[in-house]
């Protein structure tokens, strides 16, 4: 094996080499650093990297730990002690985290090495990573297109072999959607399954951390490390964590998969629909039973999501006032001028839009009409899923209605951008788990663009969706395809 080939390895295969002492953690990091230096100018997946600290950690790491010696990229909304945590926002441009988030503590305890922070939509608000206040990240399959969002940097890094695995966060689909359009695996765990302590809050009743990886097995390995109760986080579930790798390799005989008619809507790209239809037939050939179900309140999910998420964002982002940390306006006339100009200068357009909308729906006279009503409909959506899961083990659908769209194509139309999450946001509202994995390609304007298959499971049933996803993945070759980066022109 040439060391030059190493970045293309998945985590499980890398672990074999590390445990056999055929390669050292330091050599892995040095090879990955070279790969990033060669490639990231074309993708711009990273906002910062700290290989100096990572190499020191590599010298003393125990490679026999569950993730011993494996470098992991981290979305720049998750605190890593001593590293920047900008949330891709100018308001936090010079901020460095003072402590490790719980998920980082757990990764370190499992032997993983966090080494770099990935780009994202500002404060995780977006579906394309174009809302970043720092830079533009490009899709490795076609640099004229978006990598999805808001965890676009994490997805692009993994797809481009600039990371063996990464952490992302999602509030309405920000792990699964970029995973789908970038051709990798992304997992949204059950709400409360993974601690949010040390993760900068966007919408606290929706936010969740999850892995972005090259394979389902790799995602299960990271989930094993980061899942579990955290007494520091009030929404953390005190439930036992199974070994998520244990169900991998089991067949699908007797597994019931639901097809929701509400998820086959007009506006879904015909090539996406054809790929998902073919995936469903393949799952059936593996022994799964296909059952039609209904989720009647799905049509309200986007509206409900953008009321609740913006309401929570307006409250959570009130803390960024320039008083204690972050950007501060110069020479304010008074306190109100200080607050106003600090936030005007520090926040981008999409963040301002959501703060304004969220403040409006929470305001006197509108709270009942919007926020309270949205909470009631959210409960109806949750009940839809609960009723469906009485008959099925998991739901299957497209992850994104379209493949990766062109950079700039939707920035002038926020509603079209929001609709990128139409198949993902209901799961966040219901608090259930989901996974996206590659299931085909679309051919558009000469580009070969990945298509994602989504599997949704009931709360705390991640093991089941891992089982189904792994069975599909291992009986197909979609996950083995890699973008041809040698043909990518240097990004402007």
Task: Note whether 441 and 481 are within 8 A (CB).
Answer: yes
Bridge partners of 437? 453
CA distances from 17 to 1, 11, 29, 430, 482 (A): 10, 10, 14, 41, 21
Say how far apart CA 345 and CA 170 lie, in whole Å.
Answer: 26
The DSSP string of 390-419 is: TT-SEEEEESSSSSPPBTTSSTT-HHHHHG
Determine if the peptide bond prior to 150 is cis (ω within 30°): yes
HSE toward the beta carbon, residue 108, CA cutoff 13 A: 15
Of 280, 213, 190, whose CA–CA distance to 463 is shortest?
190
Q: Which pairing describes strands 113-118 and 71-75: parallel, antiparallel, or unpaired?
A: parallel
Residue identified by tokens 């441009």 is: 93
**Strands, sheet with 289-293, edge to edge from the N-terminal-most edge strand:** 46-49, 113-118, 71-75, 165-170, 208-213, 185-188, 433-444, 447-457, 394-398, 256-260, 289-293
Report the catalytic residues: 75, 150, 174
Q: Which phi and psi (to 5°) does residue 286 adopt? A: -85, -5
Name the nearest CA neighbour of 159 among 143, 140, 136: 140
Q: Report the interhelical angle of 51-60 vs 25-43 (nearest 10°).
A: 160
| Alpha carbon distance 423, 281 (integer Å) | 20
User: CA of 443: how far to CAs of 179, 269, 273, 403, in Å?
Assistant: 18, 11, 13, 9
Task: Please state, in angstroms and rounded to a whole number, the distance separating the CA atoms of residues 113 and 50.
Answer: 11
What distance in Å separates the CA atoms of residue 235 and residue 229, rounded to the nearest whole number?
A: 9
How many Å is the Cα radius of gyration of the chain? 21
């Amino acid at each position: 094996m040439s060391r030059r080939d190493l970045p293309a390895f998945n985590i499980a295969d890398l672990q074999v080499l590390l445990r056999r002492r055929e390669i050292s953690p330091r050599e892995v990091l040095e090879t990955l650093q070279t790969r990033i230096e060669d490639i990231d100018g074309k993708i711009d997946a990273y906002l910062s990297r700290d290989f100096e600290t990572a190499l020191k950690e590599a010298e003393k790491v125990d490679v026999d730990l569950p993730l011993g010696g494996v470098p992991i990229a981290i979305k720049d909304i998750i605190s890593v002690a001593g590293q920047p945590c900008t949330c891709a926002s100018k308001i936090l441009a010079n901020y460095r985290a003072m402590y490790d988030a719980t998920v980082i503590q757990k990764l370190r305890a499992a032997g993983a090495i966090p080494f770099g922070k990935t780009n994202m939509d500002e404060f995780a608000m977006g579906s394309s990573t174009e809302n970043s206040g720092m830079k533009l990240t490009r899709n490795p399959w076609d640099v004229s297109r978006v990598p999805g969002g808001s965890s676009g940097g994490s997805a692009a890094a993994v797809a481009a072999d600039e990371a063996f695995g990464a952490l992302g966060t999602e509030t309405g689909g920000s792990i699964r959607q970029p995973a789908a359009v970038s051709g990798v695996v992304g997992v949204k765990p059950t709400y409360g399954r993974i601690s949010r302590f040390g993760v900068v809050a966007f919408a606290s009743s929706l936010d969740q951390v999850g892995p972005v990886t090259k394979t389902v097995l790799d995602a299960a390995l990271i989930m094993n490390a980061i899942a579990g109760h955290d007494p520091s986080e009030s929404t953390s579930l005190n439930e036992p964590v199974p070994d998520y790798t244990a169900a991998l390799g089991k067949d699908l005989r007797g597994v019931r998969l639901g097809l929701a008619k509400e998820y086959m809507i007009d506006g879904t790209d015909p090539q996406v629909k054809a790929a998902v239809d073919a995936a469903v037939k393949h799952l059936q050939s593996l022994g799964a039973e296909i059952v039609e179900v209904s989720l009647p309140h799905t049509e309200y999910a986007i509206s409900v999501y953008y009321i609740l998420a913006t309401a929570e964002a307006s409250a959570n982002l009130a803390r960024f006032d320039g008083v204690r940390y972050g950007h501060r306006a110069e020479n304010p006339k008074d306190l109100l001028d200080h607050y106003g100009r600090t936030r005007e200068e520090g926040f981008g357009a999409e963040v301002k839009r959501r703060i304004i909308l969220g403040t409006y729906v929470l305001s006197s006279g509108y709270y009942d009409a919007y926020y309270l009503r949205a909470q009631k409909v959210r409960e109806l959506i949750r009940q839809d899923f609960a009723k469906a899961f009485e008959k099925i083990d998991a739901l299957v659908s497209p992850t994104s209605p379209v493949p990766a769209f062109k950079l700039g194509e939707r920035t002038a139309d926020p509603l079209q951008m929001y609709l990128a999450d139409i198949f993902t946001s209901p799961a966040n509202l219901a608090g259930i788990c989901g996974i996206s994995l590659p299931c085909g390609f679309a051919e558009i304007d000469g580009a070969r663009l990945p298509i994602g298959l989504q599997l949704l499971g009931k709360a705390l049933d991640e093991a089941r969706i891992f089982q189904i996803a792994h069975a599909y993945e291992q009986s197909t070759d979609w996950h083995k395809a890699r973008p041809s980066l040698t043909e990518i022109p240097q990004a402007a």
